Amino acid sequence: MNALQSDSIKVFVVAPAMLCWGLERLVQTAHPRFELTGTSATLAQAQQILERSPADVLLLDMDGGYGVDMLAELHLPPQLRLVLLTSSQDQAMLDRAVVCGARGVVRKSDPPAALLKALEKVHEGELWIDRSAAGRIFMEMARQNAAHANDPERLKIASLTARERQTIVAIASDAAAPGKVIASRLCISEHTLRNHLSSIYGKLGLQNRLDLYAYATRHSLNKAA
């Protein structure tokens, strides 16, 4: 494959072999507007490849056993847009997929030109969804945002500083480590560590490191952002 042009839209395809073959040729027909950076039969394999070879758009065959819960747990690079290809008629499921991060949904019954248009529009920052679905999706996203805004625990967590979050990750990743060891890993003094912990306990309503470990695990604060 020739070197990718800087202004082309870089597409990575995840689909079974036969479908992947057809999608690869479709993308190639639209060169130089589009460039295929790679293909994979599984999403797990794709994520490993994408770490080495970034793309702009990830085209995923959702009919390959990928559910909405899986989409919610995906950790894709911020610049990578997700477009789903599907034959599903479950509109509620597809709505949830968009709420969980998909930027576009294309039906397998749509003409090939529609897929290329979807890839282009999603790359430009737009959503590619049925007009009838847009209202429902925006209402659901607004409802979720309102629920999050009113969640007292989220408000507490939002009050943490970046350094306090780093401290929580260090504590949660090795709860049994002495304070001296934790402080060394954070490149701070034990006194500073105690000050951080005191502030964290106050903001989260906790009493000790055991409480902090349980809280961090429960609210997924035990991993670096």
| 174 shares a domain with 66 | no
Question: Is the model's pLDDT at 141 over the cut of 70?
Answer: no
Strands 34-40, 81-86: pairing kind: unpaired
Give alpha helix (H) positions in the chain. Answer: 17-29, 43-52, 68-72, 91-99, 112-123, 131-149, 152-158, 162-173, 179-186, 190-204, 209-218
| 103 shares a domain with 168 | no
- C-alpha–C-alpha distance, residues 220 and 215, integer Å: 8
pLDDT grade for 68, boundaries at 50, 70 and 90? confident
Range of the domain at 13: 9-141
Q: Are 186 and 194 in contact (CB under 8 A)?
A: no
Question: Is the model's pLDDT at 60 over the cut of 90?
Answer: yes
| 103 shares a domain with 13 | yes
Domain tally, the chain = 2
pLDDT of residue 5: 47
Question: Is the model's pLDDT at 171 over the cut of 70?
Answer: yes
Q: 191: exposed, middle or buried (C-beta count within 10 Å: 0-12, 13-18, 19+)?
A: exposed
Residue 1 domain flag: no
pLDDT grade for 173, boundaries at 50, 70 and 90? confident
Query: Is the bond preceding residue 111 a cis peptide, omega within 30 degrees?
Result: no
Q: What is the DSSP letter of 27?
A: H
| 31 shares a domain with 129 | yes
Question: Is the model's pLDDT at 150 over the cut of 70?
Answer: no
Highest mean pLDDT among 119-123, 148-152, 207-211: 119-123
Kindly report, residue by residue over 78-128, the tens digit of the pLDDT. Answer: 789 999 999 998 888 888 888 778 889 999 999 999 999 999 999 998 888
Q: Identify the CA nearest to 218 among candidates 143, 206, 140, 99.
A: 206
Q: Write the CATH number for 72.
A: 3.40.50.2300
| 133 shares a domain with 52 | yes
- C-alpha–C-alpha distance, residues 212 and 106, integer Å: 44
